[in-house]
């Protein structure tokens, strides 16, 4: 059985476990901020989460699980995180159908709290940032289904814990869960929902693959895991909504028709606060969990939040751009650009090809800018990307602006009115060589020999550099 705890055993030396109580009110998130500033990205396992009332929760909190690209890629079985674009692009091809197991064989059913017993306040949900509306479930995979086809959908959505049995639920108008909800509401019916928290990170990343509508995520999540996902019917909705048998926690309920309430503000992926907005609510009917459940939190706006989704974007963008550009070799959606920028990398693109590829990539809705780089630039190092932009771009020639494209959601710089924006494509590739094998018609870059580099590495081998000027 492959689940969150089997994964935690695998990465035991990559987990920071503070001994002392740490408050769910901003302190756990502050740990993530402080570590990120020091470029340290271990998973964080808080044995003693201190709740808002000062008591200590019995349920530990796990966060920062996805902050390291290296760890996130390895969870998917990718040895090198720089290969994630191609791996994520092919995720759908390796789908594995889920299997259904007995409730008696489902760890997530060890404890079942229905009706009056169901209490969201028993979860150590974090109040992450200053100005957040309250405590949020940040790693809840929200499952609904299309009433026309019965096909389920799944997406991570922020969930505001508003009481023992009430959640505010952020749903983008264009999300597939919102399409399902609208269909139920059009019939005057509540939309059934189940929300699962905590599983092997490959399942969580596979669940976020960018799919069509209606299209189930279970088989892609199983493919990411490398084995069939074990599912069990939910208590409230039976086999209409299945949930992972090996999850840590499942919250079930309904989104009552046309009940729209204020939700947020909430510190978002952009690094800025998302405003209070109108959203549906979930009325909770049942919570099931493991007897020793681990509560999985995701630090909003931190690498923990961005890395898995950005890797999914890399796969989707690779698929878009590769269709028009065989010389495209890689894609990186850097955490520094949140979800607004993508770096495309080419090996000897033909004249115009980098631009063609950027035109295809820029159609990805969240992007505001795409950049084209050569294969000598490490697109996983922003310093090299900025160097290439500074030294290979002539702005009259290499900057393309495209007007009237779809607005990126939650862009803090978006126009106050209007529904479209101008996007940019920047070609930072070098001009091609006159003939294959000849040097490109540009000045060569500074370099030292491989022998000299190896000698320098040998000099520094084993030297402790902590305390040296940064």
Partner 1 sequence: MSDSLFDKTGNATWAQCPSCDYWFHVAPALLALETVDLICPDCAKPFAPADAKALIGK
Q: Nearer to partner 1 by C-beta: 115 or 278?
A: 278
Closest-CA residue to 376 (of 391, 361, 360, 362): 391
Q: Which stretch binds partner 1 (CB under 8 A): 125-133, 151-159, 290-298, 377-385?
A: 125-133
Could you say whether residue 172 binds partner 1 (CB under 8 A)? no
Closest C-alpha to 210, from 64, 99, 90, 307: 90
Q: Which two tokens stand for residue 251?
A: 């919250």
| Among positions 277, 359, 389, 424, the unique one binding partner 1 when judged by CB under 8 A | 277
- Exactly one of 133, 151, 324, 405 binds partner 1 (CB under 8 A); that residue is 133
Structure tokens at 391: 């030294």
Nearer to partner 1, 11 or 402 (CB): 402
- Assess 115 for contact with partner 1 (CB under 8 A): no
141 forms beta bridges with: 156, 196
Place of tokens 């509306």: 133
Q: Does 37 bind partner 1 (CB under 8 A)?
A: no
Task: Give the SS3 label for residue 302.
Answer: coil
Q: Which two tokens stand for residue 186?
A: 């059009």
Q: x/- site string to partner 1, residues 226 to 255, per CB under 8 A?
A: ------------------------------
Please count the residues of this chain forming the interface with partner 1, following the rule CB under 8 A. Answer: 20
Q: Which lies closer to partner 1 via its Cβ, residue 215 or residue 411?
A: 411
CB-CB contact of 217 with 128 (8 Å): no
Q: Which H or E run includes 240?
A: strand 238-244
Stretch of 36-44, 211-219, 276-284, 374-382 lying at the interface with partner 1 (CB under 8 A): 276-284
Burial of 305 (0-12, 13-18, 19+ CB in 10 A): buried
**Helices 303-322, 353-362: inter-axial angle, 10-degree rounding:** 130
Interaction between residue 403 and partner 1 (CB under 8 A): no
C-alpha 206/C-alpha 91 separation (Å) is 8
Distance of CA 324 to the CA centre of its chain: 26
CB closer to partner 1, 5 vs 129? 129
Q: Quick one: which segment of 23-31, 202-210, 261-269, 283-291 binds partner 1 (CB under 8 A)?
A: 261-269
Please pick, from the candidates 238, 412, 431, 441, the single residue that binds partner 1 as defined by CB under 8 A.
412
Select from 5-13, 45-53, 260-268, 374-382 the region that touches partner 1 (CB under 8 A).
Answer: 260-268
Q: Decide if residue 77 touches partner 1 (CB under 8 A).
A: no
Give me the half-sphere count of Cα atoms (radius 13 Å) on the Cβ side of residue 414.
22
| 218 prior amide bond cis, ω within 30 | no
CB 49 to partner 1: min, Å: 22
- Given 265, 324, 348, 363, the residue binding partner 1 (CB under 8 A): 265
Is there binding between residue 262 and partner 1 (CB under 8 A)?
yes
Interface with partner 1 by CB under 8 A: which residues? 131-134, 260-262, 264-265, 273-278, 412-416
């Amino acid at each position: 059985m492959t689940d969150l705890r089997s994964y935690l055993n695998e990465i035991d030396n990559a987990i920071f476990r503070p001994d002392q109580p740490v408050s769910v009110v901003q302190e756990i998130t502050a740990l993530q901020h402080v570590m990120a500033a020091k470029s340290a990205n271990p998973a964080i396992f808080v044995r003693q989460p201190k709740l808002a009332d000062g008591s200590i929760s019995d349920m530990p909190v796990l966060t920062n699980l996805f902050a390291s690209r290296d760890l996130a890629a390895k969870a998917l079985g990718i040895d090198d995180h720089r290969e994630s674009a191609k791996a994520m692009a092919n995720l759908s091809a390796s789908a594995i159908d889920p299997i259904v197991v007995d409730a008696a064989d489902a760890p997530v059913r060890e404890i079942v709290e229905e009706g009056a017993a169901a209490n969201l306040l028993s979860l150590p949900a974090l109040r992450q940032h200053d100005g957040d509306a309250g405590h949020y479930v940040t790693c809840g995979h929200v499952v609904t289904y299309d009433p026309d086809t019965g096909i389920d959908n799944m997406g991570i959505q922020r969930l505001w814990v508003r009481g023992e049995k009430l959640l505010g639920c952020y749903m983008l108008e264009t999300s597939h869960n919102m399409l399902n909800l609208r269909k139920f509401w059009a019939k005057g019916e509540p939309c059934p929902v189940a929300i699962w928290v905590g599983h092997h990170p490959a399942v969580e990343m596979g669940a976020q693959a960018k799919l069509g509508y209606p299209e189930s995520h279970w088989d892609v999540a199983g493919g990411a895991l490398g084995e069939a996902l074990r599912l069990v019917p939910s208590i409230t909705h039976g086999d209409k909504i299945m949930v992972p048998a090996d999850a840590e926690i499942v919250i079930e309920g309904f989104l009552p028709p046309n009940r729209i309430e204020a939700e947020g503000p909430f510190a978002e992926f952009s690094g800025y606060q998302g405003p209070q907005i109108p959203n549906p609510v979930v009325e909770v009917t049942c919570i099931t969990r493991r007897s020793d459940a681990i509560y999985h939190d995701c630090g909003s706006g931190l690498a923990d939040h961005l890395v898995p989704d950005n890797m999914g974007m890399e796969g989707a963008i690779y698929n878009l751009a590769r269709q028009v550009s065989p010389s495209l070799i890689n894609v990186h959606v850097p955490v520094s650009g949140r979800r607004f920028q993508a770096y495309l990398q080419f090996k000897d693109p033909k004249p115009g090809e980098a631009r063609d590829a950027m035109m295809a990539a820029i159609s990805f809705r969240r992007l505001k800018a795409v950049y084209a780089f050569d294969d000598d630039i490490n697109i996983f190092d922003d310093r090299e990307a900025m160097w290439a932009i500074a030294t290979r771009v002539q702005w009259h020639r290499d900057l393309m602006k495209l007007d009237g494209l779809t607005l990126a959601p939650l862009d803090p710089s978006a126009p106050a009115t209007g529904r479209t924006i101008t996007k940019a494509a920047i070609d930072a590739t070098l001009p091609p060589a006159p003939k294959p094998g000849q040097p490109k018609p540009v000045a060569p870059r500074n370099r030292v020999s491989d022998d000299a580099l190896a000698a320098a590495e040998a000099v520094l081998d084993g030297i402790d550099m902590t305390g040296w000027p940064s």
